[in-house]
């Protein structure tokens, strides 16, 4: 049986993941926005490219968004001519979303730019390290997805045991409730 990870190990992982997310968040934004779409819109294009025709619920789930937010993202892509709608073959009330030829072309241009960046990054590592990184990051992503699924599709679940300390805002709110105007002992 494996020993559970220590808080120090969790903190170290958290720090490197934050650094990586921050780096990719801003570099992706700077690169993707040059192509007339936001990062979230680009992710929607990627999801449709990978999955093929999909319902709005499927796109929302893939992007970890509420259906209303995904609807707004897709609506912009439709107005720009990158996504189209067609009737669902099994459910006449539903629609399937798919990339238009213009959407596919745009996504392929964005992907080409991103892959060039990834190749440059990987060039600094030996082939066996490259393969190990892909496996490790893939396993980490899969473990994260499994947690989200286990938590009912929500990625923001905080239990009392996990979050024992009050935030400064909670402390101020509690202090206001128990002191000052109208508070009785």
Q: Is 169 exposed, middle or buried (0-12, 13-18, 19+ CB in 10 A)?
A: exposed
- How confident is the model over 7-44, as pLDDT tens digits? 999 999 999 988 888 887 777 777 777 788 988 999 99
Domain locations in the chain?
1-123
Does the domain at 1-123 match CATH 1.10.3720.10? Answer given as no
H-state helical runs in 64-126:
67-79, 101-122
pLDDT at 98 over 90: yes
Closest CA to 102 of 130, 119, 123, 77: 77
């Amino acid at each position: 049986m494996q020993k559970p990870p220590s808080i120090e190990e969790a903190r170290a992982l958290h720090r490197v993941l934050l650094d990586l997310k921050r780096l990719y968040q801003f570099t992706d934004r700077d690169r993707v926005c040059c192509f007339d779409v936001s990062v979230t819109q680009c992710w929607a294009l990627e999801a449709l490219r990978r999955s093929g025709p999909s319902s709005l619920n499927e796109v929302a789930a893939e992007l970890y968004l509420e259906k209303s937010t995904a609807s707004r993202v897709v609506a912009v892509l439709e107005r720009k001519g990158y996504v189209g709608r067609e009737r669902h073959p099994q459910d006449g009330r539903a629609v399937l979303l798919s990339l238009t030829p213009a959407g596919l072309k745009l996504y392929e241009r964005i992907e080409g730019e991103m892959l060039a960046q990834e190749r440059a990054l990987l060039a600094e590592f030996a082939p066996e390290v490259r393969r190990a990184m892909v496996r490790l990051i893939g396993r980490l992503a899969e473990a994260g997805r499994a947690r989200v699924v286990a938590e009912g599709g929500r990625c923001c679940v905080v239990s009392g045991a996990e979050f024992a300390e009050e935030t400064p805002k909670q402390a101020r709110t509690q202090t206001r409730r128990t002191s000052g105007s109208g508070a009785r002992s």
